[in-house]
Amino acid sequence: MRQPIRVIGTRVLVLLCLLATACNGGDDPVACGAPPAVAEANCSTTGSCDAIQIAGDAPDVNPGTFKGFADPSLASDPDVAGRVWLAYTWPHVVAGQACNGSAVQMAAAENRLARSDDGGMTFTHVGTLWPDVAMPDPEGSCEIGRISSETASLASIASAGQSTWYGAHLRYFLRPQTGYNPKYATSWHVRIGAAASPAGLASASETVLGVSTTAAVYLPNVRLDQLAGLPIQHCAILNNPTLFTRNQTLYLVVECLAFIGTTPDYVNTSMQVFATNPSGVPTSWTWRHAGKLADHALATQLGNDTILQPDVSLAADGTPIALFTPAHIDTNFQVGTVGDGCVAIELASIDPPALARDCAGNPVIRRRVTGIGVGACTHDRNSATGIVATSQDASGGNWMIRASELRP
């Protein structure tokens, strides 16, 4: 049985608005009312949030836990009623050889594509978008590893009766070592392509977005730390890109991971927004910095250590919303953090980026998914799934994508 959706009780706020314009545009302070109840679903509870099955695809058969379906991105098709596309990460283990000739088992990833023609009730595997392939280190070391891809995002723009699809994903060199060992500092970058269909993104030309330390061999067209005016230590690695479109503008929301040496600096980590008018080939697009969407201050307001994995979509009433994964620090996990669900927060604006806030300055939360090891959420208002979340078990693997059925 699916666990029923719960409604969190409200707490009464008795604070007065210091700035009346933030409440109602009047001249006198107005008492803030109680925030509305927020529906939630716990996607780590047995029997809750049904796992999404993808006909024609299955998790890898390796004996470890690095397998499953992860990092979903939902996008309904503007040209075909009832059609919903799902891009996702397929983690798997590949045998390889280190420079000294020893055998290794590399934790690799690739992005795959599925389609629903019944409004998100069921999904069928279509093919691989961005495969994991064997490759010598492009930077010229002795290593023969993999070029892996993960964290895909889909979006579309309709113009003159024709839709163009856009796809973003992370791409990096995976070193030939046992386990998950990307070459973070110099190979980790974002790629964005355009095509007439989601499946066409697999062979589309792409623009490369990096940071100051991204190796020149990857041919970065833009270095986003410089475009945002951030010191490299505050945007040392780009992570978890997501796309959103409004009118004829393509927006990229991406994490700028901050570091002090090799230690994560969560206080200075942020989510930045960039924008372009995507006309012509992707490498010709001109990008601008739209602003900062969120940072450590939001994580603190949500009662957590950091926020991860942004996703932007429209709520049922057309209001733009942002999904974030609040996470706590846990150094026992490879990535150093563990997700605690996700929240759907109203956006006051995407350009410049701003969260909607109530009279007390709290973010306006519409829905909440909870659960330890739950995160990487996505949403499309035309999908029966509601908010979709990724869950992992206590080992930090065996990923599944789950339909919460929560509709912001």
Q: Where are the domains positioned within the chain?
A: 6-403
Please name the amino acid found at residue 213.
Answer: T
Contacts of 270 (CB under 8 A, 6+ apart): 234, 235, 255, 256, 258, 292, 293, 294, 295, 296
* Pairing state between β 337-339 and 320-329: antiparallel
pLDDT of residue 31: 57
pTM: 0.92
**What are the average pLDDT values for consecutive 10-residue runs of the chain, which has 408 residues?**
39 34 41 77 89 97 94 97 98 96 97 98 98 97 97 94 95 97 97 98 98 98 98 98 97 98 96 97 98 97 95 97 93 79 97 96 96 95 97 88 96
Three-state DSSP state, 284: helix
Q: Give 249's strand partners.
A: 246
Three-state DSSP state, 255: strand
pLDDT of residue 1: 39
Superfamily of domain 6-403: Glycosyl hydrolase domain; family 43 (2.115.10.20)
pLDDT of residue 7: 40
